[in-house]
A and B are shown apart, each in its own frame.
Chain A
Amino acid sequence: MEARGVVKLYGKREALKGVDLSAGRGELVAVIGPNGAGKTTLLSILAGTVKADGGTVSPPDGGVGWVPQQAALYRRLTVEENLLLFARLEGRPEPRGAVEEMLKLTGLGARRGEVVARLSGGNQQRVNIAIGLLAEPAVLLLDEPSVGLDPRQRARLWEFVAGLAGGGTTVVFSTHDIQEAERFGRRLLVLADGESLFDGAAAELREAVRAEAPEAAGSDFETAFVAFLQHRGH
Chain B
Amino acid sequence: MRWLLLKDLQILRRSPLQALLLIAYPILLALLIGFAISRAPEKPRVAFLNEIPPGARVAAGDGKLPSVGVNERICGRVACVEVDSRAEAEEKVRRGDTLAALILPADLIDRLNSLGTLNPETPEVDVIVNQQDPVKARLVDDRITVLLAEANGLIARQIAAEGGRYLNLVVNGGKFDVLGQKVEILGLRATATILRALRPAVPAGMRAELDRVIRFATLARDNLDVATPLIDRLAQPIAVDKKSIDGSAPPLETFAIAVAATLTLTFVVLLLVAGSLALEREENTVARLTGGIVSRSALLVEKLGLGVVVGLGVTLLMLAGVQLFAALEWSRLGLWIVAILAAAAALAAAGAALGAAARDVRSVSLLAFMVALPIALLSLVPSGAVGTTPFDAIRVITALFPFKPALQAITAALDSSGRGIGTPLLHLAILAVAYGALARLALRRLQSA
Please state if B285 and A72 are interface contacts (CB–CB under 8 Å).
yes
Contact for B294 among A68, A75, A76, A89, CB less than 8 A: A89
Known: A51-B448, A88-B3, A89-B294. A76 touches B15 (CB 8 A): yes
Please state if B293 and A89 are interface contacts (CB–CB under 8 Å).
yes
For residue A88, which residues in chain B have a CB less than 8 angstroms away from its CB? 3
For residue A76, which residues in chain B have a CB less than 8 angstroms away from its CB? 11, 14-15
The answer, yes or no, to whether B246 is at the interface (CB within 8 Å) is no
For residue B292, which residues in chain A have a CB less than 8 angstroms away from its CB? 47-48, 63-64, 66
For residue B285, which residues in chain A have a CB less than 8 angstroms away from its CB? 72-74
Interchain CA distance A68-B290 in the complex, whole Å: 13
Please state if A74 and B290 are interface contacts (CB–CB under 8 Å).
no
Contact for B10 among A50, A66, A77, A89, CB less than 8 A: A77
Query: Which A-chain residue is minimally distant from B2 (CB atoms)?
Result: A88
Please state if A81 and B283 are interface contacts (CB–CB under 8 Å).
no
For residue B448, which residues in chain A have a CB less than 8 angstroms away from its CB? 50-51
Please state if A73 and B283 are interface contacts (CB–CB under 8 Å).
yes
Please state if B284 and A81 are interface contacts (CB–CB under 8 Å).
no
For residue B422, which residues in chain A have a CB less than 8 angstroms away from its CB? none
For residue B447, which residues in chain A have a CB less than 8 angstroms away from its CB? 49-50
Interchain CA distance A208-B158 in the complex, whole Å: 116
The answer, yes or no, to whether B165 is at the interface (CB within 8 Å) is no
Please state if A89 and B14 are interface contacts (CB–CB under 8 Å).
no
Known: A49-B447, A68-B284, A89-B4. A77 touches B291 (CB 8 A): no
For residue B294, which residues in chain A have a CB less than 8 angstroms away from its CB? 89
For residue B289, which residues in chain A have a CB less than 8 angstroms away from its CB? 89
The answer, yes or no, to whether B338 is at the interface (CB within 8 Å) is no
Contact for A74 among B283, B291, B293, CB less than 8 A: B283
Interchain CA distance A124-B283 in the complex, whole Å: 12
The answer, yes or no, to whether A147 is at the interface (CB within 8 Å) is no
**Residue-by-residue, is A86-112 near B (CB-CB < 8 Å gives 1, otherwise 0)?**
101110000000000000000000000
Please state if B3 and A85 are interface contacts (CB–CB under 8 Å).
yes
The answer, yes or no, to whether B287 is at the interface (CB within 8 Å) is yes
Interchain CA distance A70-B292 in the complex, whole Å: 18
Taking the closest CB of chain A, its distance from the CB of B288, in whole angstroms, is: 4
Please state if A72 and B7 are interface contacts (CB–CB under 8 Å).
no
Taking the closest CB of chain B, its distance from the CB of A222, in whole angstroms, is: 29
Please state if B284 and A70 are interface contacts (CB–CB under 8 Å).
yes
For residue A51, which residues in chain B have a CB less than 8 angstroms away from its CB? 448
CB proximity to A under 8 Å, residues B277-309: 283-285, 287-294
Q: How many A-B contacts at CB < 8 Å in the complex?
A: 58
On chain B, the number of residues with a Cβ less than 8 Å from chain A's Cβ atoms is 20
Please state if B283 and A48 are interface contacts (CB–CB under 8 Å).
no
Known: A66-B291, A68-B288. A74 touches B3 (CB 8 A): no
Known: A51-B448, A90-B293. A44 touches B10 (CB 8 A): no
The answer, yes or no, to whether A216 is at the interface (CB within 8 Å) is no
CB proximity to B under 8 Å, residues A33-65: 44, 47-51, 63-64
Known: A74-B283, A75-B283, A89-B4. A47 touches B291 (CB 8 A): yes
Interchain CA distance A110-B447 in the complex, whole Å: 35
Interchain CA distance A64-B288 in the complex, whole Å: 11
The answer, yes or no, to whether A131 is at the interface (CB within 8 Å) is yes
The answer, yes or no, to whether A71 is at the interface (CB within 8 Å) is yes
Taking the closest CB of chain B, its distance from the CB of A89, in whole angstroms, is: 5
For residue B290, which residues in chain A have a CB less than 8 angstroms away from its CB? 49
Please state if A72 and B4 are interface contacts (CB–CB under 8 Å).
no
Known: A49-B447, A50-B448, A66-B291. A74 touches B7 (CB 8 A): yes
Query: Which A-chain residue is minimally distant from B288 (CB atoms)?
Result: A72
Interchain CA distance A32-B77 in the complex, whole Å: 85
Known: A50-B448, A51-B448. A81 touches B10 (CB 8 A): yes
Interchain CA distance A75-B284 in the complex, whole Å: 11
Query: Which A-chain residue is minimally distant from B285 (CB atoms)?
Result: A72
Contact for B14 among A50, A68, A77, CB less than 8 A: A77
Interchain CA distance A77-B280 in the complex, whole Å: 13
Interchain CA distance A88-B292 in the complex, whole Å: 13
Interchain CA distance A64-B292 in the complex, whole Å: 9
Known: A48-B292, A49-B447, A50-B447. A77 touches B7 (CB 8 A): yes
Please state if A72 and B10 are interface contacts (CB–CB under 8 Å).
no
Query: Which A-chain residue is minimally distant from B294 (CB atoms)?
Result: A89
For residue B284, which residues in chain A have a CB less than 8 angstroms away from its CB? 68, 70-72
Query: Which B-chain residue is minimally distant from A44 (CB atoms)?
Result: B287
Taking the closest CB of chain A, its distance from the CB of B207, in whole angstroms, is: 114
Query: Which B-chain residue is minimally distant from A69 (CB atoms)?
Result: B284
The 9 A-B residue pairs with the shortest CB-CB distance, nearest first, are A49-B291, A72-B284, A72-B288, A49-B287, A70-B284, A88-B3, A76-B14, A72-B285, A89-B293
Contact sample, A vs B, 30 pairs, CB 8 Å cutoff: A44-B287, A48-B291, A48-B292, A49-B287, A49-B291, A49-B447, A50-B447, A51-B448, A63-B292, A64-B292, A66-B287, A66-B292, A68-B284, A68-B287, A72-B283, A72-B284, A72-B285, A72-B288, A74-B283, A74-B285, A76-B11, A76-B14, A77-B10, A81-B10, A85-B7, A86-B293, A88-B3, A89-B3, A115-B14, A131-B288
- With A49-B288, A76-B15 known, 19 other A-B pairs at CB within 8 A are A44-B287, A47-B292, A48-B291, A49-B291, A66-B291, A68-B284, A70-B284, A71-B284, A76-B11, A77-B10, A77-B11, A77-B14, A86-B293, A89-B3, A89-B289, A89-B294, A90-B293, A115-B14, A131-B288
